[in-house]
Copies of this chain bind each other. A is one copy, B any other.
Amino acid sequence: MLVKFDELKAVTKKAFLNLGLTDEQAETCAQIHCSSSADGVESHGMNRIPRFAEYVKKGWINIHGKPELVKAKGAAENYDGNLGIGVINALFCGQRAIELAKEHGIGLVALKNTTHWMRGGTYAWKIAEAGFIGISWINTESCMPMWGSDTQSVGNNPFCIAIPRDDGQIVVDMAMSQYAYGKLGVYRLAGKDLPYPGGFDKDGNLTSNPGAIEESRRILPTGYWKGSSLAIALDLAAAAISNGLCGSDMDANNNGSCTGCSQIFIAIDPYMFGSKAEIQEMLNRRVKIADSAHPIDPKHPVKCPGESTIARRKKSMAEGVQVDDTIWSQVQAIAEGKDLSGHIE
């Protein structure tokens, strides 16, 4: 169903307050989750709130945990997330990266021992909105077979990069699996095949049948061996730089999705070596040329990443935000003070 953003946010904030968050935490989390859904990323927006509630109850997320400076060196800082709220820890660290970049041209913040940051692109978007190029990634528990394996052995470790542009940020937010499990479910329920192969069936054949992949759990890395290689490299780099857990450490802990994970936030001043006006002109020129590339289907012009998200955001703000009926009932129930323990997947 469609829900007006303000109503969605008010109810969501109430739900977060009922989970024990402070007013400031609840305000921030409501804004982020509702904005992700408004941007069309429901899977990591409203849809994650019931699971967040479960994680708080299980003690996998410590709502009193705050990011704590462990060590700093030059343009880099290391924080312990103390298993606090992933969104709040990540927003803090993204902002610190911006501050470091203001001083040093580039800033890096390595966050360890944090929890799920929900929509990965959130932080690169924020960095770009502040006028900096943002790069961020996370390591997750194993949810994808490494290339050459038939068992889940690496995370789908999203990688995000954003470029600030006055006419609309350019943002890539890509998991290292070709499709998320959530997406497979959407296609299966609609009785449709995936547009392109998304994994292997239990007999090892590449398939576009979502149910067959859900059964085998053999989801396909983005670009076959390439996404698998990048996923393990991002895992190692995040754990090394933050002095935190790697993916297999999280597998051993088995405390839910991304609990204890490591995250990297890099901000870069895009105007330190050139004039802002000239660089913005170059970005607009390049995007315009890209967008005018001859389309396969004239009804679907080429778009640079981020442009469709901005269009979707405008539509959601005007017409209401798309929310799954069941999720909305659950969030409303939490907002009404009901205990949903055991009733959520």
Contact = CB atoms under 8 A, between A and B. Distances in A.
Contact of A163 (B133, B233, B303, B305): B233
Interface in A222-264: 222-224, 226-227, 229-230, 232-237, 239-243, 246-249
Interface string A141-167: 000011111110110000001110000
Contacts of A340: none
A299 B92 CA distance: 47
A175 B142 CA distance: 25
Given A286-B235, A300-B148, A110 B230 contact: no
A134 to B, nearest CB: 10
Contacts of A226: 172, 174, 178, 222-223
A301 interface: yes
Number of copies of this chain in the oligomer? Answer: 2
A240 to B, nearest CB: 4
A70 B272 CA distance: 11
Nearest to A76: B105
Contacts of A86: none
A209 interface: no
A75 interface: yes
A110 B273 contact: yes
B148 A71 contact: no
Contact of A246 (B154, B282, B295): B282
B106 A108 contact: yes
Contact of A232 (B70, B146, B290): B290
A170 interface: yes
B110 A108 contact: no
A135 B206 CA distance: 32
A248 B71 contact: no
B289 A248 contact: yes
Question: Which size bracket describes the interface of A in this complex?
Answer: 35 or more
A293 B233 contact: no
A333 to B, nearest CB: 36
Contacts of A107: 106
Contact of A133 (B174, B237, B285, B304): B237
A266 B107 CA distance: 11
Interface in A281-296: 282-283, 285-287, 289-290, 293-296
28 contacts: A70-B273, A73-B105, A73-B272, A74-B103, A74-B106, A75-B106, A76-B106, A76-B268, A78-B272, A133-B237, A133-B240, A148-B303, A149-B293, A151-B294, A161-B234, A163-B236, A163-B240, A172-B230, A174-B226, A223-B223, A223-B227, A232-B290, A236-B287, A237-B270, A240-B279, A243-B273, A248-B290, A249-B282
Interface of A: 70-71, 73-76, 78, 103-108, 110, 133, 145-151, 153-154, 161-163, 170-172, 174, 178, 196, 204, 206, 222-224, 226-227, 229-230, 232-237, 239-243, 246-249, 266, 268-270, 272-274, 278-279, 282-283, 285-287, 289-290, 293-297, 300-305
